[in-house]
Amino acid sequence: MLQQQDEMSFWEHLETLRWTLFRCVIALIVFAIGAFISMYELFDSVILAPTRSDFILYRALCKLTAAIPFMPDFCDDTYLVNIFNVKLASPFFFHMSTSFWLALLFTFPYLVYEIWKFISPALYDHERKNIRWAFFFGTIMFFIGCAVGYFFVFPMTLRFLATYRLSDAIAEQVSLESYIDTFVMMIFLMGIIFEMPLISWLLSKLGLLTRSFFNKYRRYAIAGLLVLAAFITPGSDPFTLGTVFFPLYGLYELSAFFVKKAPKDDDEETGTEIVKA
């Protein structure tokens, strides 16, 4: 059954949307101010942490690969990416923009809750139950993706690109703008990529996607994911490529698992079972 809020007029719905957006903006502003105040500590200890050899990923990979000869060397204590700034006002503007991105990251669960609270009155009881779990699952997957982006994908990409040598005459330094842009893009890109199972499930509920799609295009997906993994971590060693490819392929199979089968698929499977019998 629909709740009584469904009987509201258009202007009442518009007023509800206005207050929903207002609360979202206020939450973003509050968290952005908090991030802005804490940025001096966060910038050195969190954002710039992958530029140093003592980053948690490098230390873990050093212990993991030290005994294997053909693995890349992660035990270089002299590794350090030098960040420089060219434009006079860039530090201040990046201070503000990074505060906003951090606020968006930290308020994501609350924003999802506000969206859920706005659309839930228009749903039936069984739809409300399914969508509630979908939002919860999507939020968790988003944070897992962001964590993978921060703790693995971005550091591996940075380490390869920062240590790549075209000529010894070129001093290897990274601009502040390039670093921050890549940092934000990688983390939020992985967060969005990890939403693939949820998006597939929603498209399946709308009747736009079935499991046969994943079965039909699996080989093309494997090739595409290999290219994407090579683009994200452009290293030449199979270890780095594999550690990015396999989680992405796991997301593909997880998406296929959450998508319902087409009726003809069920008929074909039933027919196959009858023939076998």
Q: In this predicted structure, what is the pLDDT of residue 59? A: 87
Distances, alpha carbon 270 to alpha carbons 1, 32, 118, 214, 264, in Å: 35, 56, 42, 20, 10
What is the reported pLDDT for 123? 65
Q: What is the pLDDT of residue 100?
A: 93
Over the chain (277 residues), the average pLDDT of each successive run of 10 is 54 82 93 92 91 89 73 77 87 91 90 81 69 81 92 86 76 86 89 87 78 88 87 67 82 85 58 45
pTM: 0.77
Q: What integer pLDDT is reported at residue 6 of this predicted model?
A: 47
3-state secondary structure of 223: helix
pLDDT at position 236: 57
Give residues with Cβ within 8 angstroms of 106, minimum separation 6. Answer: 31, 35
